[in-house]
Homo-oligomer: A and B are copies of this chain.
Amino acid sequence: MSKAKYVSLAVIRRLPKYYRYLGELMNSDVDRISSVELGKQIGFTSSQIRQDLSCFGEFGQQGYGYNVADLYHEINCILGLSKQYNVVIIGAGNIGQAVANYHGFNKMGYSIAALFDKNPKVVGINIKDIEIRDIDTLDEYLINNEAHIGVICVPSNNAQDVCDILIRNNIKAIWNFAPIDLSAPDDITIENVHLADSLFILTYLSNTKLIG
């Protein structure tokens, strides 16, 4: 695993896909699979699969292929999913509530520890047995409670302020749904989900196909 930090971002971005497909294979009671067959299902070449996985260690065996459950668990460990993470969500609007309610996050080791909003109409309401707290108490909460991941679901104009509060309270992982690029020091990881950008790309690509 010490190799992991030298792995290219492109490979890392493919890891969850491997993990997803291996999970599906396990659910279908498939015990082992060749890199060729796995490649066919995922849509990668078998050599890409062998190359990607070799970044993290020695998996699979010539003539046998991959043991599905073993590889699934290895990737689970590589991704860091064998640990538990306390997640705080800031912004309990539609997206914040959708993330809080997202089926399966809990099962994957992510525990929604707290939800914050600035709207007095929703503060005090419970989402999944978690009370929505006043955003003014975020700083105090983070001083007194361990949180690993901050999810920013506030509008753009508040997102950087929220990001700054998370950073000064030692949160290193930020999942940002606000349609803005946040500033943060190099030791902070920010992963953006820019929904409008995604919809625009869909629009462009589908229009281009229609013209082309």
Interface residues of A (CB under 8 A from B): 2, 4-5, 12-13, 15-17, 19-20, 42-43, 78-81, 85, 93-95, 97-99, 101-105, 108, 110, 149, 155, 172-175, 179-181, 187, 189, 191, 193-212
**B80-A204 in contact (CB<8A):** yes
Q: With both chains docked as a complex, state the minimum distance between the C-beta of A116 and any C-beta of chain B, in angstroms.
A: 17
Which one of B4, B93, B202 contacts A175 once the chains associate, using CB atoms below 8 Å? B202
Give the number of times this chain occurs in the complex, counting copies: 2
Contact A15 B199 (CB under 8 A): no
Interface of A, secondary structure class, is helix
Task: Determine if A193 and B196 form an interchain contact, defined as CB atoms under 8 angstroms apart.
Answer: no
A203 vs B86: C-alpha distance when bound (angstroms): 12
Q: CA separation between A86 and B95, bound complex, in Å? A: 22
B19 engages A200 (CB within 8 Å): yes
With A and B bound together, what is the CA distance between A15 and B208 in angstroms?
14
- Which of B175, B199, B200 touches A199 (beta carbons < 8 Å)? B175
In the complex, the answer to whether B98 meets A200 with C-beta atoms within 8 Å is no
Q: Which of B43, B102, B201 contacts A94 (CB 8 A)?
A: B102
The answer on a CB contact under 8 Å between B94 and A98 is yes
B16 x A172 contact (CB < 8 A)? no
The answer to whether B212 and A16 have CB atoms under 8 Å apart is no
- Given A20-B179, A209-B187, do A81 and B196 touch, yes or no (CB 8 Å)? no
In the complex, the answer to whether A189 meets B202 with C-beta atoms within 8 Å is: yes
